[in-house]
Amino acid sequence: MHDYDWPSSGDLALIIEVARQVALQNGAGRDDADDIAQTTAIKMLSKWDTPHVRLARARGPGGWRSYVAVAARNAHLDLTRATRRREARQRRAVDAAEYGLNPRPGVVRSPLRDGAQVEELLARALIVEEVRALRGRRRQVAERILLQEYSIAETAKALGLHARTVRQHLQEAREQLIARLTAPDPDH
Domain 112-182 has CATH 1.10.10.10: yes
Q: Please tell me the predicted confidence (pLDDT) of residue 9.
A: 86
The tens-digit pLDDT sequence of the chain (188 residues) is 455 678 888 888 999 999 999 999 999 888 889 989 998 998 888 888 889 888 888 898 898 899 999 999 999 998 888 888 877 776 766 665 555 554 455 554 555 555 556 666 667 777 888 888 899 999 999 988 888 888 888 999 999 999 999 999 999 998 988 888 777 765 54
Query: What pLDDT sits at residue 102?
Result: 46
Q: What's the pLDDT at 68?
A: 93
List the chain domain ranges. 9-88, 112-182
Q: Give the predicted TM-score (pTM) of the model.
A: 0.50
Q: Any residues with CB less than 8 A from the CB of 111 and at least 6 apart, and which?
A: none
